[in-house]
Structures are given as structure tokens and as C-alpha cells.
Chain A
Amino acid sequence: MKFYHEKTLKDVSFEEAIQKVTDALKEEGFGILTEIDVKETLKKKLDEDFRPYKILGACNPPLAHKALLAEDKIGAMLPCNVIVQQVNNGVEVAAVDPVASMQAVENEGLSEIAQEIQSKLKSVIENL
């Protein structure tokens, strides 16, 4: 099972792609709670030149709450990551597939919630 859903956006800058992702997530009820600038971090820590790459941590509060009630340690898998990176032919956006990642949790009570989040994140990618 693939652990993500992705799309490559052509003819957009990296910043424009970030804005599109932010808007598309908002449409589906996700806020961006965390943001890691991988390029900047690797430059600062290791003096390594990396391509533009950001990890956005997205969270839909009602679904996060439901997941937490079903599995109290689910925070270990939160928020849902969406990564944005510069590739040769554009900017690639990939969102985690929570159905794949929640399999490891082995809690049946989570599967419906994982499917709901999956369909929302899939729409985010499709709507870009």
C-alpha cells in the first residue's frame, strides 16, 4: 500500500505551491499546526544545500479529537503531514495516507476515522 497521495504542480513557484496547499487544506477543515523548513534546517545544522522542501503538519480538530478518544496515544502519529518539495518538473505535493499509517496502530475503532481523513486529504491533493 502506498503511504501517500501526490501531485506535481507545474508552472508554479515553491511559495505559490505552499499557498495553494494551505488554502486547499483550509477548504477541508485542516489548519497547519507545524511547519518545518527542511532546506533551511539542513543548511543551518549541517551546512548542506538541499532543494526547497517543507513539511506541513495539518490537523482537523474534530477528527483529531475523535481519533484521540479512540486511541489515547494517537498523538504519536499526529499531525498529518503534507510535504512540498521542488522537483525537476515542478513542485511535488504529497499527503500522508492515514489509512496506511494507522494500520500500525491496530485499532479497529480508528479505521473509519482514518478513512474519513484519507478522503479529505485526497480531495486536498485533487483540488490543487
Chain B
Amino acid sequence: MSDKNKIAEENYKESMHTPYALSRRYGSLTFEVAVQNVRDALNQMELKVVNHFNLHDHIQENLGKEINRYTILGACNAELALEALSTENKAGIMLPCNVIVQEMDPEGIIEVSVVDPTVTFSLAKNEKLTTMGTKAEERLHQILDHIEKSNVKL
């Protein structure tokens, strides 16, 4: 195992505990490939990327400050979104579900974090909506298993 992969694995364990997101680190991907693989993995789970927010460029352009590369992808499944909006008309406040891709210091390790919609949807204190959040979470969190795999060339 390369050092990079070792780091990726150690950090993966360390970063699992965020209460609002699930994260995993990858040692074998460039930033661009990671973003593309996240898109592909979301697609496979029938989650469409509905918006793309480059936080790095936004901070740089507006404040002239340098941060690590950082992109926020907003993912949504139309059926689930309609169900959520029919249950709670302000559910749009929690949509779409975000996946962030960021470059870590100093090894070029890429971290992908997926929001936990059970947590964000539970804000509405509507049991039906929280259950839908869990449904979305199951789909969403699976992508972490497919981000590296799709890059492996056999």
C-alpha cells in the first residue's frame, strides 16, 4: 500500500464522526477526477447534480483569499424531492443534498463529504420528512463506495 493510501485510510476513520456529514478520503484521485467520479456515482444512484458551486473561486474572486480547492455539488432525485415538498411546503430549504469535494493539505488527498439528510430534514420536526431524509441518505452515502472504484483501470 502506498503512503498516500495509508493516509487516506487513517483519515477516513478519523473523519467519519461528523454529526451532519459522512466523509471519506481518497489518496489516488486528482481533484478533477474526484469531482467527475462524484457526478458519475450520483448519476448511478439516480441523483442529478442540479447545481455546482465552486467555493474556492467564489472566495478568491470576492475576497482575494486563497483556500484549498473546494466544490459543492447539489444533488437531487426528482421523485424524492416531490414527495418531500408535498409533505412540507418549505422542504426546499433543505434541498438539494450537498456533496462536497475538497483538496486536503498537504498530500493532495481528496476528501468527499456527503451531507446527512436525516439530520438536515429532521429540522422540520416532521416525522414523515425525517423518514424521507433517511431514504435519501441511504442512496447518497453509497456513492462513497463508488468514487474510487470507477477510476480503477483493470
Contacts and interface: CB of A to CB of B under 8 A. Distances in A.
Given A64-B59, A77-B98, A104 B53 contact: no
Given A3-B93, A55-B92, A78-B53, A104 B119 contact: yes
B72 to A, nearest CB: 5
B115 A41 contact: no
3 A-B pairs with least C-beta separation:
A45-B78, A61-B62, A34-B51
Given A57-B51, A61-B58, A68-B55, A77 B93 contact: no
Interface of B: 18-21, 23, 48, 50-51, 53, 55, 58-59, 62-63, 65, 67, 70, 72, 74, 76, 78-79, 81-82, 85, 89-90, 92-96, 98, 100, 102, 113-115, 119-120, 123-124
B20 A105 contact: yes
A115 interface: no
Interface string A29-68: 0010111101001100110101001010101011011001
Nearest to B114: A76
A53 B59 contact: no
Contacts, number: 122
Interface of A: 3-4, 6, 31, 33-36, 38, 41-42, 45-46, 48, 50, 53, 55, 57, 59, 61-62, 64-65, 68, 72-73, 75-79, 81, 83, 85, 94, 96, 100-101, 104-106
A34 B21 CA distance: 21
Nearest to B124: A3
9 contacts: A3-B93, A34-B53, A41-B50, A61-B58, A73-B20, A76-B115, A78-B55, A94-B90, A104-B123
B70 to A, nearest CB: 6
Given A64-B59, A65-B59, A83 B98 contact: no
B66 to A, nearest CB: 11
Nearest to A53: B92
Contacts of B62: 31, 61-62
A104 B133 CA distance: 14
A38 B81 contact: yes
